[in-house]
Structure 1
């Protein structure tokens, strides 16, 4: 299980939303071996005055949070992060300075979906990759 939140300034983020979602999903499918039909993305649009950002960032600055069940190797998580940097930069045109990524993990028993806790649900893709 994985969910993605993307934070950014409203106007520039809305302009790239669909393409960015496609790029993020392709990276998740490749690195985490997710099924193509498992996309859970939430875009959080902020007004410039509500989004304080580090020096040197532009209005295109985004933060990507990936929330997932724990179990992936360090190598797999690094692969995902590196794919995101590479492909978002190349395919969307954002500078690397304008992309920040954080992976947050929790045990399967902390998740609830399809009426059960995550450790009771059978999922059709690997977690331990």
Structure 2
């Protein structure tokens, strides 16, 4: 399970949500083995006055990836590398224009389909074999 929040300026990124979502999902599928149909992306696009980020360009994006614990350090590094390798060139931004945080929480802290996340049967692994820390 992973949910992604995308923060950026409305005047720069509005209308490009699907393009960005497709890039993010490709990285999550590649690095973490998420099923293609497990896509939970939210765009929080702000007016210029509400986006105070000194030293960053107008194209600056912030990603928050909220997920179950268990991916391991190697899995998190793989996702970070994939995001910088794919998203930066595809969107025509610099590495300084992309910042991300992976926020892990225990499965029991999630409520999904009417039950705690640790009681939920998933169709995919949260701990891929190559993600050992």
The TM-score normalised by the length of structure 2 is 0.93
6-15 or 19-28, larger mean C-alpha shift: 6-15
Give the secondary structure class of the aligned counterpart of 2:39.
coil
Q: Which runs of 4+ in 1 moved over 2 A?
A: none
Distance (Å, rounded) in 2 between the aligned partners of 1:9 and 1:52: 10
Cα distance in 1 for residues equivalent to 2:4 and 2:90: 19
Q: TM-score if structure 1 supplies the norm length?
A: 0.96
Residue number in structure 2 paired with 1:58: 57
Residue equivalent to 1:113: 112
Q: Over aligned residues, Cα RMSD in angstroms?
A: 0.9
Residue 46 in structure 1 maps to residue 46 in structure 2: yes
Give unmatched runs, 5+ long, in structure 2. 129-133
- Residue 20 of structure 1 corresponds to 20
**In the alignment, which residue of structure 1 is the partner of 2:102?**
103
Give the corresponding residue for 1:10: 10
Deviation of 1:15 after TM superposition, in Å, equals: 3.8
Q: 2:27 aligns to what SS in structure 1?
A: helix
**Any gaps of 5 or more consecutive residues in structure 1?**
none
